[in-house]
Structure 1
Amino acid sequence: MHPPEPHSPPERPPPMSGAWRTTWLLLAFMVVNFADKAVLGLAGPEIRADFGLTRQEFGTAQSAFFALFSVAALGVSLLTRRVRTAPLLLVLVLMWSAAQLPMMWGAAGFGTLVATRVLLGAAEGPSAPVAIHHVHGWFPQRERSLPTAVLLFGAAAGVAVAAPVLSWVITHWGWRWSFGVVGLVGLVWAVAWAIWGAEGPLAPRVGKAAKGGTGEKSGAGTGSAPASDDLGVPLRAVLLSGSFMTAAFGAFAAYWLMSTLLTWTPDYLESVVGWDLHGAGTLVGVGALANGVVLLVHGLVAQRSARREPTGRRLPVGAGAGLLMVVSGCAVALFGTIDSMWGKVPLMLGPITLAMVMLTVAMTACARIAPPSQRGVVLGALTFVFALGGILSPLVLGGMVDRAATVSAGYEQGWLLTSGLLLTAGVLAALFCRPEATAKRLGISEAPSARVPLVP
């Protein structure tokens, strides 16, 4: 679509169906994405029993998922300056779905598990930054908090749906079928995206088209001209800013917590607390759903605050997210040290979930300080950093549990380490994550607000 002439009347605004249909499709994309991640943790006890693995060896298999996760996230995000995001998303989902299916083969052993997790991680690493970059092409800056939260809700919904469903599959069909189910669902989504997936009216130009102007395309009905001088802001200035670095570290700590909960909570609840697989899977699913509710509520509050209050009067997003991370860190410490399940369950479903807000804040903050043509790269760099939490937490906590005098003592040490990360990241974000001030210093103005509907 070509931008309208300066003096021509603006076209109609982007239809609600286009922006929100894309958002719902990508929500489903994220649901499948995180169901894929959750399957190994849910099937973990059965896999360890079948293959005779220690917890540290199992942690190695879980970390194999992240071996190329961060590198692929950064590498594919660099492609967003040359290739449209719609076909990129289709290729990624086909790759990750195909990576799940070999584990249905009865002869597939530990080596196959590690190899397929590496391939799966390479395909899923770029998924979140590319999906968020894509959906930001449908919404102007002031409208992006809610759709970003909706996509990240897919992470929670993926676990919430996967935990009870895959636990049932594992119990009745065996753990190998849990891999097959999520692979087949991914292929179904790929068909839907091939039919309905499309680029947004505010998506930045790519490839040769970008040479004529690197700003965001003028969306249908926005009446806004492409942003200028995107390349006048060096990428290193964005990546070395206090806002980016503290947002990235905060997201790293939040993702460490998420990976810990996905990987080790089922085993913790079975080995230490004494629950069965069904009960552990159900609590993990409900906890993930609580994470999603927190993300959606935060997205709505942030969106309405952006609409009603001038930028200078709003509480800096880093301060709010940092405070929530501090509360979450204290809750994790209590969760790991108290004995009563009457205390553990409310903590897991309440205060611990508040750290996940940092994932939304980090994504929107880094998108705010990035020129449009570099947004995909910056989001990829953010993912590169925070995904390291997914690599390290299974290895570190698995080793701590195996080396401890008892399983219970090892898990207690792991929860306290996680708490310390959250507390440190929360304080740093509260002090130094100031995306509006950073954007002003870098000379990145906020794009005019398009008339895109707030809610479907």
Structure 2
Amino acid sequence: MRSAGPKERPALAAHAPGAWPTARLLLLFMVVNFADKAVLGLAGPEIMKELGLNRQEFGSAQAAFYALFSLSAIGVSLLTRRIRSTVLLLAMALAWSAAQLPMLWPAAGFGVLIATRVLLGAAEGPAAPVAAHHLYGWFPQRDRTLPTAVLLVGAAAGVALAAPALTWVIAAWGWRWAFGAVELAGLAWALVWALRAREGPLAPQVADPAGRVAYDTGPALGRILTAPSVLAAGFACFAVYWQISAQLTWVPDYLHTALGWSSGATGLAVALGSLANAAVLLTHGLLARRPTAGRTRPRLLPEGSGAGLLMLGAAAAVAVFVAGPPWLKVPMMCGPMALAAPMMTVGQTACARIAPAHRRGAVLGTVVGLSSVGAVISPLVLGRIVDGAGEAVAGYERAWLLTAALLALSGTLAAVFLRPERDAHRLGTPVEQGSQPYRA
């Protein structure tokens, strides 16, 4: 006898046993994930000095992380129909931990650095979409905004914790041991996950070898991915990925090289900026939770707020890198410049609303895979702009004007086209538990 589909299962409250403990474990998962990403930027000046790299070559090393990131995000997310997300998440953590090991070898040079970043990106590409897919097996639609924000806080917390900790490791033990530190953190998380992880009551069924599931209904994958809301969310997330990658790669160099800050002050500034991202994500999640959990439609939908915050983030980027005096830079990085971050929460929850549960992992993975191309392009483009300017400060001004324009454009498109309830109704996506029926 086939097991019941999601509509036949009992309703799940956000405080159900196992829901928030799972969210906390996945928060730590994202902390380690983004510590892995941040280590290269934090160790950048030492790596460039020891290996004799210019900024464009160093940007190539950062971009190498994303060489297979998108393909892996899409490919592994498609496996969520056949393999439990608990297994996929464990395999990812083990793989990205192993990818750090070669950099501990004293003779490892630029070629090994490139190879390990490619392998690391392939292991980490599906992390966010598969983690979100697993999380949504515990929380119904109306309660997903806050746990999604908590999940994404791990990205900011990973950088915030990594910046001072890895800066200390680099100063005390050398930059190679920074890679060893994040490897050990990944292995520790994998051990805890292997002992405690389980699927949520709202998790979709896994297909049999023939690809059949008991409730294979709803719109086709191609129709979902071409819905206006999904396209708008994807482009907005492209802009946010661009900004995140630019910050991880070039803000430490900008503060240290262009402005002459010490390594300690640079690490502290990066940590404060990341904590600001975490605070903004949590505040947005808490504010969005009340209207989305109510019985009436909110006056300001979360997707509308995300679009507006993107445009405010664009204005802040101009103030930090172009128009602002030196004393204003850290306050702006620790406040208005973090306002683009909630678009990641908005984009994921919007795409999850349009996709039926059994297609959710594939949709989230495809959107993340394609939008993360922004993180591939950003280090290369901005590195070339800075190197081509002749003078670092002028180069960074031009680079961040381009970033601000991209954020503003994506925010405008999101404000016009991001309407997940309308698109879900048009496509005939089944209404999940906890969702409010669409009213035009």
Please classify the TM superposition score into its range, dividing by the shorter chain length: over 0.9
Indicate how the Cα distance of structure 1 residues 189 and 352 shifts in structure 2: closer, same or farther if over 3 A, else same: same
Is the CA contact 1:48–1:58 (under 8 Å) kept in the aligned structure 2? yes
Counterpart position of 1:453: none
**Aligned equivalents of 2:233 and 2:7: distance in 1?**
38
Is the CA contact 2:12–2:139 (under 8 Å) kept in the aligned structure 1? no
Is the CA contact 1:55–1:402 (under 8 Å) kept in the aligned structure 2? yes
Deviation digits for residues 79-104 of structure 1 (CA, Å, limit 9, x no counterpart): 00111100000000000000011101
Give the C-alpha shift of residue 214 in structure 1: 2.7
Indicate how the Cα distance of structure 1 residues 303 and 339 shifts in structure 2: closer, same or farther if over 3 A, else same: closer
Indicate how the Cα distance of structure 1 residues 15 and 47 shifts in structure 2: closer, same or farther if over 3 A, else same: same
Is the CA contact 1:89–1:127 (under 8 Å) kept in the aligned structure 2? yes
Counterpart position of 1:441: 426
The worse-fitting range, judged by mean Cα deviation, of 380-389 and 193-202 is 380-389
Which runs of structure 2 are paired with 1:124-143 in the superposition (5 Å)?
124-143=124-143
RMSD: 2.0
Indicate how the Cα distance of structure 1 residues 300 and 13 shifts in structure 2: closer, same or farther if over 3 A, else same: closer
Counterpart position of 2:412: 427
**Aligned equivalents of 1:434 and 1:269: distance in 2?**
39
Correspondence for 1:372 among 357, 382, 386: 357
For the pair 1:189 / 2:189, whether they are aligned, the reply is yes
Is the CA contact 1:164–1:285 (under 8 Å) kept in the aligned structure 2? yes
Counterpart position of 1:308: 294
Indicate how the Cα distance of structure 1 residues 448 and 434 shifts in structure 2: closer, same or farther if over 3 A, else same: same
Give the C-alpha shift of residue 256 in structure 1: 0.8
Give the C-alpha shift of residue 444 in structure 1: 1.6
**Aligned equivalents of 1:264 and 1:12: distance in 2?**
43
Indicate how the Cα distance of structure 1 residues 4 and 33 shifts in structure 2: closer, same or farther if over 3 A, else same: closer
Which runs of structure 2 are paired with 1:41-440 in the superposition (5 Å)?
41-208=41-208, 211-214=212-215, 229-230=217-218, 233-311=219-297, 313-338=298-323, 340-440=325-425
Give the C-alpha shift of residue 14 in structure 1: 8.5
Give the C-alpha shift of residue 338 in structure 1: 2.9
Which runs of structure 2 are paired with 1:12-23 in the superposition (5 Å)?
16-23=16-23
Deviation digits for residues 159-184 of structure 1 (CA, Å, limit 9, x no counterpart): 00000000000011100000000001
Indicate how the Cα distance of structure 1 residues 4 and 279 shifts in structure 2: closer, same or farther if over 3 A, else same: closer
**Aligned equivalents of 1:445 and 1:346: distance in 2?**
45
Give the C-alpha shift of residue 349 in structure 1: 0.8
Give the C-alpha shift of residue 405 in structure 1: 2.4
Deviation digits for residues 293-330 of structure 1 (CA, Å, limit 9, x no counterpart): 1101111111111122523x443333221111111101
Deviation digits for residues 347-406 of structure 1 (CA, Å, limit 9, x no counterpart): 111111010110000000000111111000000111112211110110001111111121
The count of corresponding residues between Structure 1 and Structure 2 is: 433
Indicate how the Cα distance of structure 1 residues 403 and 208 shifts in structure 2: closer, same or farther if over 3 A, else same: same
Indicate how the Cα distance of structure 1 residues 366 and 12 shifts in structure 2: closer, same or farther if over 3 A, else same: closer
* SS of aligned partner of 1:208: coil
Scaled by the length of structure 1, what TM-score is found?
0.91
Give the C-alpha shift of residue 74 in structure 1: 0.2
Indicate how the Cα distance of structure 1 residues 12 and 149 shifts in structure 2: closer, same or farther if over 3 A, else same: closer
Match of 1:214, as an amino acid? Y
Give the C-alpha shift of residue 255 in structure 1: 1.2
**Aligned equivalents of 1:28 and 1:42: distance in 2?**
20
Scaled by the length of structure 2, what TM-score is found?
0.95
Is the CA contact 1:259–1:390 (under 8 Å) kept in the aligned structure 2? yes
Is the CA contact 1:318–1:432 (under 8 Å) kept in the aligned structure 2? no
Report the identity percentage: 54
Deviation digits for residues 273-299 of structure 1 (CA, Å, limit 9, x no counterpart): 110111101110110011011101111
Indicate how the Cα distance of structure 1 residues 10 and 110 shifts in structure 2: closer, same or farther if over 3 A, else same: closer
**Aligned equivalents of 2:204 and 2:162: distance in 1?**
35
**Aligned equivalents of 1:361 and 1:448: distance in 2?**
19
**Aligned equivalents of 2:288 and 2:60: distance in 1?**
38
Is the CA contact 1:204–1:214 (under 8 Å) kept in the aligned structure 2? no
Deviation digits for residues 33-84 of structure 1 (CA, Å, limit 9, x no counterpart): 0000000000000000000000000000000000000000000001001111
Is the CA contact 1:328–1:351 (under 8 Å) kept in the aligned structure 2? yes
* SS of aligned partner of 2:107: coil
Gaps of 5+ in 2: 436-440
**Aligned equivalents of 1:430 and 1:11: distance in 2?**
32
Match of 2:203, as an amino acid? A
Match of 1:146, as an amino acid? L
